Structure 1
Amino acid sequence: MATVVIPAHNEETVVGAGVETLLDGAEPGEFEVIVVANACSDRTAEVARKAGARVVETERPGKANALRLGDAACRSFPRVYLDADVRLSAASARALIAAARRPGVLACAPVPDMDMAGVGWLSRRLHKVQERLVEPTRGLAGTGVYVLSEEGHARVFPMPDVISDDGYVHASFAPHERVVVPEARSLVRPSRTLSANLNRRVRVRMGNRQLEELGRPVSERRLSLGDLWALLRARRVSPLDAGCFLAVLVMDKVLTRLRAQRGGQVSWGTDATTR
């Protein structure tokens, strides 16, 4: 048995389908699914139970807290940590678990597939450029799923109260200790509107700053304008794509700076445009 932990804050519209997708085609007892209904005011816990998950409920908000509670309820390794709005099939979960059992592999993640249904034209361009930029150095962050071996788990948990849990996990391992498993895919719903995109990007940027302060920078190499220019020269993105991306990049940097100056805190929230 492998255990899957799903932190869920007011996720009644998606958590049931996520659990059902994972368990569909699974052998009896193959996966134990633990949903942590975290400070929910909706039917998340009820829906998760009906879908076949064991539910842990808490009134304390915060994704890191939900992950710690779910992790404490686990009984086996490797352990899969899955976002409530991300779909992962049983076959992909098996591939990830098999990878995490290989010698020397402490953590792994799938390749994300983007569900672009309902995404606005500007957001489509932003996600296209972002995906092209991160492809060569894709890691554990941004896939909605990561898996830890027992040795890898000891390095990550108990997880501190960080904004970016997947960034923290990624930064906890050297490149040779973490792998992206190409035969495993996760279905991720990106932000559909410009406003939602900006909120997410500000959150990511502030989360990355926090990790740098903790001595765990997410990336060994920062993306640069040169990377964007290389995509343009290779005609993998259009000038309009690049222009939209740069404009939003400037906006999110300004918003991040303003929020930091005002002492703004980033809390665990739900992007309603992806539900």
Structure 2
Amino acid sequence: MKPVVSVVIPAHNEEAVVPAGLDLLLAGTEPGEFDVVVVANGCSDGTATAAARPGVRVLETPAAGKAGALRLGDAACRAFPRVYLDADVRLDADSVRALARAAGRPGVLACAPVPEWDLRGTGPVIRRVHRVHDRLIAPTRALAGVGVYVLNERGHERAFPVPDVISDDGWVDGCFTGSERVVVTGARSVVRPPRTVRAHLRRRIRVRQGNRQLAALGRQGRPLRLGALGRLLVAREVGPLDAACYLAVLAMDRLLTRLRRGPAGWGTDAGSRHRDPTAAS
């Protein structure tokens, strides 16, 4: 059977999560329906062994790095459209089919699913922070921050090869405008956000570096405005305690940013796989 879609999954030390993700992805598919390529990059665990199964090709490279793994997996693909899926994000076969159909619509070059957030084990403060943040970015969310994006052949020509950036989804999102990129309501990805305030703050450090990289390449994000938080409060989409938690953590984030940059304004941020689909800092 000729595959109807290719799926590229870059995986760095993802032995614990990749088996369940592949099982969900392939459940209910016909043999050969999906062309799935897992790229185990710079792994020191059993990611490659855990990913091996019928219907999945596993590539291994000693070089760690998501962008490089995406390029390697992309070069091995056999079909369009192509799904680029984070190893720790869940996506089922029906969602893949819905995304593939959407990528075939006239004028569409790229698409992404609607994210569902797995908040199990999340602390009460960060749960409220996430509730606010998700509602703030929802109106402008497209391809970034949901762990999955899909390109048809024309979209691929515009976005690939992905450069060596932290935020590959931010790069790809910036390659398209307006109706060229769509969010497919019939598709869902399940994403696990940071579980604690500390983890959230660490992620924010990495997000800022990713956003600065994209800005240096001429890709500007969409900044958040606190006025939008006021509108959410008026509409009762979030409560006062939600907003207070969000603002308190935001203040901590900005204080840490100043301390890390020091008097000369130089940062010490580290890399990340994911980009926040805003340029807030």
TM-score, scaled relative to structure 2: 0.91
Match of 1:156 among 143, 156, 159: 159
User: CA offsets per residue over residues 173-222 of structure 1, 9 Å max, x none?
Assistant: 01221000011000111111111111112212221121111111133xx2
- Answering whether residue 253 of structure 2 is matched by residue 252 of structure 1, we say yes
Q: Percent identity?
A: 63
In structure 2, distance between residues paired with 1:257 and 1:69:
38
Counterpart of 2:126 in structure 1 is: 123
Counterpart of 2:236 in structure 1 is: 235
Query: What code does the residue aligned with 1:114 have?
Result: W
Counterpart of 1:79 in structure 2 is: 82
Equivalent pair of 1:10/1:43 in contact (CA under 8 Å) = yes
Equivalent pair of 1:20/1:52 in contact (CA under 8 Å) = no
Please report the RMSD computed on the Cα atoms of aligned residues, expressed in angstroms: 1.6
Deviates more, 1:106-115 or 1:254-263: 254-263
Per-residue deviation at 1:106? 0.6
Aligned positions of 1:50-89 closer than 5 A: 50=53, 52-89=55-92
**Gapped runs of 5+ residues in structure 2?**
275-281
Counterpart of 1:16 in structure 2 is: 19
Secondary structure at the aligned position of 1:41 is classed as coil
Equivalent pair of 1:202/1:253 in contact (CA under 8 Å) = no
Aligned positions of 1:72-221 closer than 5 A: 72-219=75-222
Secondary structure at the aligned position of 1:163 is classed as coil
User: CA offsets per residue over residues 48-71 of structure 1, 9 Å max, x none?
Assistant: 003742111111111111111111
Deviates more, 1:9-18 or 1:209-218: 209-218
Counterpart of 1:30 in structure 2 is: 33
Per-residue deviation at 1:263? 4.8
User: How many pairs align?
Assistant: 268
TM-score, scaled relative to structure 1: 0.93
**Gapped runs of 5+ residues in structure 1?**
271-275
User: CA offsets per residue over residues 210-261 of structure 1, 9 Å max, x none?
Assistant: 1111111133xx2201000001111111111111111222222343455454
Per-residue deviation at 1:137? 1.7
Counterpart of 1:273 in structure 2 is: none
Structure 1 pair 259–160 and aligned structure 2 pair: CA distance change class (3 A): farther
Structure 1 stretches (4+) deviating beyond 4 angstroms? Answer: 257-263
Equivalent pair of 1:10/1:42 in contact (CA under 8 Å) = yes
User: CA offsets per residue over residues 106-148 of structure 1, 9 Å max, x none?
Assistant: 1000000011111111111111001111122221111100000
In structure 1, distance between residues paired with 2:171 and 2:258:
22
